[in-house]
Amino acid sequence: MSIPALSSKNLVSASDYNPLLPTVRHDPYPYYAAMRRESPIHQILPGAPFYAVARYDDVCSVLHRPEVFSSTALQILAQGGGISFGPNSGALAGHRLLQSSMMIATDPPDHTRLRNLVNRGFTPRRMSALAPRLRAIAETCLDSVVATGQMDLVKDFAIPFPVTVIAELLGVEPERRERFKHWSDAIVIGLSGTSQAFGRAEVAAAADEMADYIESVVAARRSSPRDDLISILTQAEEGDALTGGEVLSFIVLLLIAGNETTTNLIGNAMRAMLAHPDVMERVAADRSRIPAMLEEALRYDSPIQGIPRKVVEEVELGGTKLPKDAFLMVLFASANRDERQFPEPDRFDIDRKSREHVAFGHGIHFCLGAALARLEARVAFETLFDRCRDFRLDAEEVNVIESNLLRGPRSLPIRFAPHRSVA
């Protein structure tokens, strides 16, 4: 069985773009291409101040001008203000998880202060020291499935691997890991999509449970610090005036971004290679190609499709006048397929020389965990290729998660042959 390559060659109109439609979520790239051609600053809802930013140069311009395009949009939209993203919009209005702004939803000078404080948990030395432990976790995740010659890559590997990594970094007990994955899904997918799996009450309940748990752990780490990120953050709170709410909001950000993004990167990269067997063969034969493959996977099918911004003052962008207080969806995934920046953008080409994709953002909000995500994904595929060969899809169709912000396979059944040494 095979899966079709993701392509923007199918002709649709920019007016057909609606991020809530299943057809758009299944393959948004033809719609992004149409917007880049016809309406690069595209009013998503007629009559509403809500625009999609589709071209690479415009996306970078927005990301580099926080004084005009505010990151507070994410916090406002998460609480149901402004434009509704889905049926659960407003489910967390006033919730203590959002009482203090997440770093990703702040502007300078607050963002600068928060970033400087939390950087201590993501030093290059700390990240590089993780590699042996990451390998051990990846091996353990594969132990129960390798001999069977089949697995759901998402359920059996792409979810438990990064969940275990971020849980260990934070000091979360093993018995809590499955539960905090549920909290993460309920909050992110429940708020940003149309999934029937999570209603408003379930989103709110997950937020309550997550907040209760994090607050209890923070209290414990204050009295008895450990060698984990929560301890580092609580120490920063005492020494550098991080508030209790800021500690809570940053841990929530880590719990969510620390597993969702890497899960989708692993799933999207495998899906792209399954659709391009020649790439799979080259990478399997030469593991040194894994980093280049991952960079191209990040560009080709971005785990985070975009992020919102709010217009602080009336401004012109890409020839379009935007009113004060308008909301933008800054489409990383469309920018990464912009033919002006990436020749033949619909081709999955691991030999591309440019690494100027914006899958991890750009400017002051470049993803703090990008180095960790890259390291996790590299270790994931090194381990997969070390222990398995001849990967092939075991499904007629690949369904994606039901989110307007995130993109990755909901399930990816595959078959493979174990290497003889592990058979």
In 3D space, the residue among 129, 132, 142 whose CA is nearest the CA of residue 385 turns out to be 142
Position 143 confidence tier, pLDDT thresholds 50, 70, 90: very high
pLDDT in tens, 39-50: 999 999 888 899
At residue 162, the 3 state secondary structure works out as helix
Q: What is the pLDDT of residues 71-130, one digit of tens each?
A: 988 877 777 666 666 676 777 777 787 777 778 888 898 888 888 877 777 777 778 888
Q: Where are the alpha helices (H) located in 193-348, listed in sequence order?
A: 200-223, 229-240, 244-275, 277-285, 290-300, 332-335
**pLDDT given at position 302:** 96
Judge whether 7 lies within some domain.
Answer: no
User: Taking residues 197-222, what's their average pLDDT?
Assistant: 85
The answer to whether residue 137 is domain-embedded is: yes
pLDDT at 10: 56
| Residue 302: C-alpha distances to residues 207, 288, 375 (Å) | 26, 22, 17
Residue 46 domain-assigned? yes
Q: What is the CATH number of the domain that holds 242?
A: 1.10.630.10
Within 8 A by CB and 6+ apart from 77, the residues are: 83, 85, 89, 308, 327
- Terminal-residue alpha carbon distance, the chain: 24
Domain assignment of residue 217, yes or no? yes
Kindly compute the dihedral angle of the four CA atoms of residues 37, 46, 21, 10, in this order, to the nearest 10 degrees: -20
Alpha-carbon distances of 171 from 59, 228, 372, rounded to whole Å: 36, 6, 16
Q: What is the pLDDT of residue 196?
A: 67
Residue 412 lies in a domain: yes
What percentage of the chain reaches a pLDDT higher than 90?
51
The two tokens of residue 21 are 């439609």
Taken in order 82, 88, 94, 99, the sign of the CA dihedral is negative
Amino acid at 3: I
Residue 244 is assigned to a structural domain of this protein: yes
Q: How far apart are CA 107 and CA 112, in angstroms?
A: 8
Put simply, whether the predicted model's pTM sits higher than 0.85 gets the answer yes
Structural domain boundaries enclosing 222 = 14-422
**Scanning the structure block, which residue is given the tokens 């309406």?**
39
Residue 8 lies in a domain: no
Give me the number of domains the chain comprises: 1
In a domain, 4, yes or no: no
pLDDT of residue 240 exceeding 70, the answer is no
Question: Which residues make Cβ contacts (< 8 Å) with residue 423, sequence separation at least 6?
Answer: 147
